[in-house]
Amino acid sequence: MISNATRKRVTPLPYLLILPTAVFVALFTAWPVLLSIYQSFFLQRMNIARFREPTFIGWGNYVNLFTDPYFIQVIKNTLVYVLGTVPISILLGFLFALLVNRKVRGIGFFRLAFFHPMVLPMVSAATIWLFLFTPDYGLFNSTLRFLGYTGPENWTGNPNLALLSVIIVAIWKNSGYYMVFYLAGLQNLPEDVYEAAALDGANGWQTLWKITFPLLRRTTLFISTVAFIDSFRTVDHIFVLTSGGPSRSSTTLLFDLWLERFEYQDIGTAAAITVIFVLVLMIFTVTNFITSERKEA
Amino acid sequence: MTKRILYQLFAVFLILGLLIGACAPTQEPAQEVPAAAEEAAPAESAGEEAAVEEEAAMEPVTIQVFYPVAVDAPIADILNGYIADFEAEYPYITVEPVFSGGYADVQTAIQTTVDGGGEPPALGVMLATALYDLINADYIIPLDGYISEMDDGDAFVADFLPAFLDNSYYDDQLWSIPFQRSAVVMYYNADMFAAAGLEPPTSWQSWADAAQALTVKDGDTTNWGLHFSSDWPYWLFQPLAIGNGQNILEDDCTVVFDDPAVIEAVQFYIDLSEVYGAMPPGVQASWATDPTDLASGATAMITHSSGSLAGLLAQADFELGVMPYPGKEEGTYASVPGGGNFYIMKGAPKEKQDAAWLFVEFISRPEYVADYSINTGYIAHRYSAYDTDAMVAYVADVPQALDTRDALQYAGAELAVQNLGQVRGIFHDYIQRAINGEMSAADAMAAAQVEADAALADYCP
């Protein structure tokens, strides 16, 4: 009886220790999200005197958003951007990691070369690319021309290329970052598995896809989550390169959120976009986690 | 058992202590009070003594000024110099300049502070065109009270170049004071013009002809006669419309997009590329690179801000010409002002607002206006500034500084309307469609008009 009671008693120490984190998460994550959900049901526009006080409009903001062709275009742009950046930058990160995971003299230089875009602030990186993208003499266009490209050269001003140009910059910027995680993963892989594979006569390709890649699954899970979230929350280069244009062809969800909140001062719509934003990220993260944990079993 | 509870209690206090430590406001201002009083004490000349004593009796006050850096100039150093002069004259006021990024960032920072229930800075430098958004959101106060308290307030206001006050008035009240102002101008490489036997253009036709004549193909690359960026198009476009006799706005509730003259101006922009082959096709996302291209000889003309003058003069090894855009008709010209004004924030306490006004008045003195213009490339925005010795000497050396000012006599109002962000976004969207050939100029402007009118409907019953 007594021993049972002791076992059941709650020990407060662990809870106390997570209290600071819990407070910060509640204050800076949970509370803003709850507030956004609440605000998203109200019409509130700071720059119209009679709409400055919030009025309840139910699902109005959401209905407006999903019937607005602009917002549909923003969703499409975001999808293209995410699908364009995430898989390719992860794949490139993996390849770079394989390339530099060897003991050669001066390998540090190559690792640095792949990694350095990550060290640059996004705004600086985008400014550099602004000049690389310059028509005529810009390095990017000169190189493409040398390879036989004859298409349009005003990358950031062309409605069909503007989104692609911000994707290119994001891939260039992030691949090196993901490489570092893969490199760390690769260097932690057990040697004996490879020895066994070599004894069994596995070729390089088989070793790569049957051993290395599966063993790095947790790294891939981590990187894909980070990459996905990152692709939603980077906007700096869009500000510098295209300002979301031309004709909104490179406006993504977060850029649109900034427009609604700070350019149009439309708090209700901005809150609705925030809710959509958080939902998408949560669904992805949870699904990603669940599916990969299931594979584990 | 007791030991464990003690241990747990200790942990709680530790955590609470950390939290409180992190959240507690800093108490620094309290320590600054005696320091400010000490500084005020040793007055140098007998004449200043009385004034200083009077001011020393004032409560010390610290104000913040949020300002952007939008040009290639050491704005922070320059401002710190003015602030030191100001604080010497008003020892009880401390001015803290807060660099806040670009214009949009300053406005965002102030918005988030006010909306979050905090006290905004007493003074902010924001776009002149932000006027209606700032009034509607109830962020700023009118300045007429301060003007009427001045010895000669009317003369103070009349000394500002009128084009720069265009976006300061609403409801017959004055809401902002010009500070760092610019204008759209056309820069040209006068040496290239001379070599080709061309005169500076005086009409759309001679402009297009000159641009065509100065376009040179060189292997794979083309040295275009004209670079005219359209990545943030309304500002550089406006002088085209004004030069055709119709600005794109009439008042804060009326925009004029679907108008034959405006459509013709859009078409002229397109024709510069399509008909004359004098400009790259499509939207030119080249605002950032155009000055460099002109300076390096990659193009003969650019349309840009007068704020780029200092940088261009430093880089160019040819004679640099500056002029307003030629208008459509022979001998007509056009321009449009731009840049930032001082706004005093409503949410700041009265004594800080008063101190902010003193600072605005101080920095609007001709000698500071002249100095700021010389060091940054902004246009000196007061007539009296041009009579200062520094400005007279500067203009003798750099006559182009007068050309930028003179362009303003042809200026129409910059696009400043209710719901500016959205209306401007709509205009950008459609003019870029026209430039990229996705829509005809007429269709694009008609669609822009419909959407803009809808976006204005809530504001303009």
Residue A291, pLDDT > 90, answer: no
Residue B21, pLDDT > 60, answer: no
Distance from CA of B277 to the nearest CA of A (A): 15
Q: Are A170 and A88 in contact (CB under 8 A)?
A: no
Residue A212 belongs to some domain of the structure: yes
- What residues contact residue A219 under an 8 Å CB cut-off, 6+ apart? A181, A182, A184, A185
Average pLDDT over residues B262-286: 94
Q: Considering only residues B191 and B11, tell me which one the structure prediction assigns the higher pLDDT.
A: B191
Look up residue B254 and give its DSSP letter. E
Look up residue B137 and give its DSSP letter. T
Distance from CA of B5 to the nearest CA of A (A): 9
Average pLDDT over residues B275-303: 92
CB contact under 8 A, B285 and A247: no
Q: What angle do CA A88, A89, A90 make, to 5 degrees?
A: 90
Grade residue B7 by pLDDT with cuts at 50, 70 and 90: low
Nearest residue of A to residue B459, measured between CA atoms:
A48
Residue A43 belongs to some domain of the structure: no
Q: Considering only residues A93 and B52, tell me which one the structure prediction assigns the higher pLDDT.
A: A93
pLDDT at B57: 59
Closest CA to A165 of A156, A157, A176, A173: A156
Residue A52 belongs to some domain of the structure: no
Q: In chain B, what percentage of residues exceed pLDDT 90?
A: 74
**Residue of A135, A159, A264 lying closest to B280 (CB–CB):** A135
Residue A37 belongs to some domain of the structure: no
CB contact under 8 A, A246 and B436: yes
> Please, what is the angle between helix A107-119 and helix A162-187, to 10°?
130
For domain B57-181+339-408, give the CATH superfamily.
Answer: Periplasmic binding protein-like II (3.40.190.10)
Q: How is domain B184-336+414-457 classified at the architecture level of CATH?
A: 3-Layer(aba) Sandwich (3.40)
pLDDT at A7: 59
Residue B194, pLDDT > 60, answer: yes
**B244 to A149, B327, B415: CA distances (angstroms):** 39, 6, 16
CA distance B137 to A261: 13
- To probe the interface with B, which of A2, A47, A48, A238 has the most B CB atoms within 10 Å? A47
Chain A neighbors of B222, CB-CB under 8 A: 136
Q: Are B441 and B258 in contact (CB under 8 A)?
A: no
Chain B neighbors of A152, CB-CB under 8 A: 281-282
Nearest residue of B to residue A248, measured between CA atoms:
B429
Distance from CA of A162 to the nearest CA of B (A): 10
pLDDT tens-digit readout, B295-331: 999 999 999 999 888 889 989 999 999 999 999 999 9
CB contact under 8 A, B422 and A264: yes
- To probe the interface with A, which of B105, B228, B289 has the most A CB atoms within 10 Å? B289
Q: In chain A, what percentage of residues exceed pLDDT 70?
A: 96
Grade residue A207 by pLDDT with cuts at 50, 70 and 90: confident
Chain B neighbors of A131, CB-CB under 8 A: 288-289
Residue B31, pLDDT > 90, answer: no
Q: Is A131 exposed, middle or buried (0-12, 13-18, 19+ CB in 10 A)?
A: middle
CB contact under 8 A, A157 and B107: no
CA distance A45 to B441: 32
Chain B neighbors of A242, CB-CB under 8 A: 231, 285
pLDDT at B5: 53
pLDDT at B8: 55
Average pLDDT over residues B214-238: 90
**Residue of A12, A49, A246 lying closest to B136 (CB–CB):** A49
CA distance A145 to B315: 29
ipTM comes to 0.84
For residue B21, give the H/E element and its range.
helix B2-23
**Residue of B15, B136, B286 lying closest to A20 (CB–CB):** B15
CB contact under 8 A, A159 and B459: no
**Residue of B115, B132, B283 lying closest to A246 (CB–CB):** B283
Q: Considering only residues B221 and B372, tell me which one the structure prediction assigns the higher pLDDT.
A: B372
Interchain CB contact of A292 with B (< 8 Å): no
CB contact under 8 A, A158 and B132: no
Residue whose structure tokens are 């079993």: A297
Residue A297, pLDDT > 60, answer: no
pLDDT tens-digit readout, A136-174: 888 898 899 889 888 888 899 999 999 999 999 999 999
CB contact under 8 A, B289 and A134: yes
Q: Are B185 and B310 in contact (CB under 8 A)?
A: no
**Neighbouring-strand partners of residue B279:** none
CB contact under 8 A, B438 and A247: yes
**Neighbouring-strand partners of residue B341:** B126, B178
Grade residue B4 by pLDDT with cuts at 50, 70 and 90: low
Residue A11 belongs to some domain of the structure: no
Grade residue A6 by pLDDT with cuts at 50, 70 and 90: low
Grade residue B32 by pLDDT with cuts at 50, 70 and 90: very low
Average pLDDT over residues B268-288: 93
CA distance B336 to B236: 8
Which sequence spans correspond to the domains of chain B? 57-181+339-408, 184-336+414-457
Average pLDDT over residues A38-63: 90
- To probe the interface with A, which of B19, B23, B112, B221 has the most A CB atoms within 10 Å? B221
Task: Name the CA radius of gyration of chain A, rounded.
Answer: 24
CB contact under 8 A, B136 and A20: no
Number of A to B CB contacts under 8 A, please give it: 126
CB contact under 8 A, A159 and B137: no
pLDDT at B19: 43
Residue B35, pLDDT > 50, answer: no
Is residue A51 classed as helix, strand or coil in its secondary structure?
helix
**Residue of B12, B137, B289 lying closest to A131 (CB–CB):** B289
Distance from CA of A113 to the nearest CA of B (A): 27
CA distance A126 to B224: 25
Closest CA to B199 of B323, B305, B303: B323
Residue B18, pLDDT > 90, answer: no
Q: Considering only residues B7 and A41, tell me which one the structure prediction assigns the higher pLDDT.
A: A41
Chain B neighbors of A46, CB-CB under 8 A: 111, 115, 136-137
Average pLDDT over residues A70-87: 95
Grade residue A76 by pLDDT with cuts at 50, 70 and 90: very high
- To probe the interface with A, which of B72, B106, B136 has the most A CB atoms within 10 Å? B136
Residue A2 belongs to some domain of the structure: no
Chain A neighbors of B282, CB-CB under 8 A: 152, 154, 157-158
CB contact under 8 A, A20 and B18: yes
Chain A neighbors of B281, CB-CB under 8 A: 152, 154
CA distance A183 to A95: 10
Grade residue B349 by pLDDT with cuts at 50, 70 and 90: very high
Distance from CA of B56 to the nearest CA of A (A): 40
Chain A neighbors of B289, CB-CB under 8 A: 130-131, 134
Residue A184 belongs to some domain of the structure: yes
CB contact under 8 A, A16 and B432: no
pLDDT tens-digit readout, B369-417: 999 999 888 999 999 999 999 999 999 999 999 999 999 999 999 999 9
Is residue A124 classed as helix, strand or coil in its secondary structure?
helix
For A72, the domain range is 68-296
Average pLDDT over residues A85-111: 89
Residue A207 CB-half CA count within 13 A = 18
**Residue of A49, A137, A262 lying closest to B111 (CB–CB):** A262
User: Which two structure tokens, joined as six digits, stand for B334?
Assistant: 């056009």
Chain B neighbors of A247, CB-CB under 8 A: 428-430, 432-433, 436, 438
Q: Is A198 exposed, middle or buried (0-12, 13-18, 19+ CB in 10 A)?
A: exposed
Residue A110, pLDDT > 90, answer: no
Residue A15 belongs to some domain of the structure: no
Chain A neighbors of B18, CB-CB under 8 A: 20
Cα B309 to chain center, whole Å?
Answer: 15
pLDDT at B1: 45
Cα B83 to chain center, whole Å?
Answer: 20
CB atoms within 10 A of CB A80: 15
Chain B neighbors of A158, CB-CB under 8 A: 282-283, 436
pLDDT at B345: 96
Q: Is B24 exposed, middle or buried (0-12, 13-18, 19+ CB in 10 A)?
A: exposed
The count of structural domains within chain A is: 1
pLDDT at B454: 94
For residue B18, give the H/E element and its range.
helix B2-23
Q: Considering only residues A287 and A3, tell me which one the structure prediction assigns the higher pLDDT.
A: A287
Amino acid at B103: Y
CB contact under 8 A, A154 and B222: no
Closest CA to A156 of B9, B229, B241: B229
Q: What is the CATH number of the domain that holds A167?
A: 1.10.3720.10
A178 φ, ψ (degrees, to nearest 5): -70, -30
